[in-house]
Chains A and B, each alone.
Chain A
């Protein structure tokens, strides 16, 4: 047995055991699951720490600073401020980087969402209703789409009680929302089953050589 095949076989066995540990949760909480869960959390936290260093902190901070690009001192300072949380006395300084992140994040969201979810969605809702030259069902579909979007939006009116006309339209909106939820659910079922098949194939074929 060469080192490489040993590696592969050993790795497969670890993978198989951990897979079974996680599956055991379906029966009930048990020491095997608890073991796998804690290992899982520890390893993934360590993984992210290392990954963060090599893929973010090093190329985006240390390398540019080593090349004397001083504009990177600001993120360095903010990053260090973030760590002041560790000493309670000056912990309030960590609010600065947090404010920076929340502020720039919010600013980006304002324009991104107005552009992609407002303007673009309006545009894709504007479809010709003119029956000439189109089969009747295209027209019908476009009308249904329109009714669905408008009534769905009315459901989200907060400053009006859902009574009278508003209530009626909002009710139609709920119908569309419910159909949409049901459909999305049904659409996903098959993909989820393939995930399980993938896992079982790993166990039965690659590990046990069963099939």
Chain B
């Protein structure tokens, strides 16, 4: 029973979501909103689970005095430091302590982590854009042309070409035609894979998510 009931629940919920899409009549019309709301609530509860897991892991590190356990204290301090004001002192409105930490610690770190991409995009293109094989050469040429087409330099390099056939136009063409074709093929294929996997899940053929593939 421990495995059958979840399978039945999966089937009923999946089938309901498919059916409600086609039937605008009561009781199906409100089904999607209700399911999505319930989904969010469960996810909200699961957050407690996550926090418990994180806390226990790091408390254990501190208790066992594992190497570098001091950082676990930093982590816990951060967690408590934002959660306590968020729950008990002023909530999450503007100009609260919660908002101060969000604006001055979380946002700068987030943007900086994101900005690391500028460096990684450079090192990745240095390594990957090499004409080792035909495929790699295609990657290189397409990437190189589009990169040049995005800066004024590209157009100045192709000054001798008539208007409409310069580097930026070529880059736009690559983006609009071969790039679109490739992406569309991936998207269509992936859609079929997603739908097939979903149907297998609903029908109970794919059940490794319950543990024990």
Contact = CB atoms under 8 A, between A and B. Distances in A.
Interface of A: 7, 10-12, 14-16, 18-19, 22-23, 25-26, 34-54, 56-57, 60-61, 71-72, 74-76, 78-80, 82-83, 85-86, 92, 95-111, 113-114, 116-118, 121, 124-125, 141, 144-153, 155-156, 173-190, 192-193, 195-196, 198-199, 202
Nearest to B133: A178
Nearest to A10: B104
B188 A149 contact: yes
5 contacts: A19-B109, A52-B44, A176-B181, A180-B182, A196-B118
A184 B135 CA distance: 15
A113 B191 contact: yes
Contacts of B44: 52-53, 56-57, 60-61, 79
Nearest to B80: A46
A22 B182 contact: no
B196 to A, nearest CB: 9
Given A11-B103, A106-B202, A181 B45 contact: no
Given A12-B104, A106-B202, A82 B181 contact: no
A98 B84 CA distance: 29
Interface in B74-91: 74-83, 86-87, 91
Given A48-B47, A103-B202, A179-B179, A185 B150 contact: no
3 smallest beta-carbon distances between A and B, as pairs: A152-B185, A148-B181, A107-B17
B140 interface: yes
Contact of B189 (A11, A152, A175, A198): A152
Contact of A180 (B111, B145, B173, B181): B181
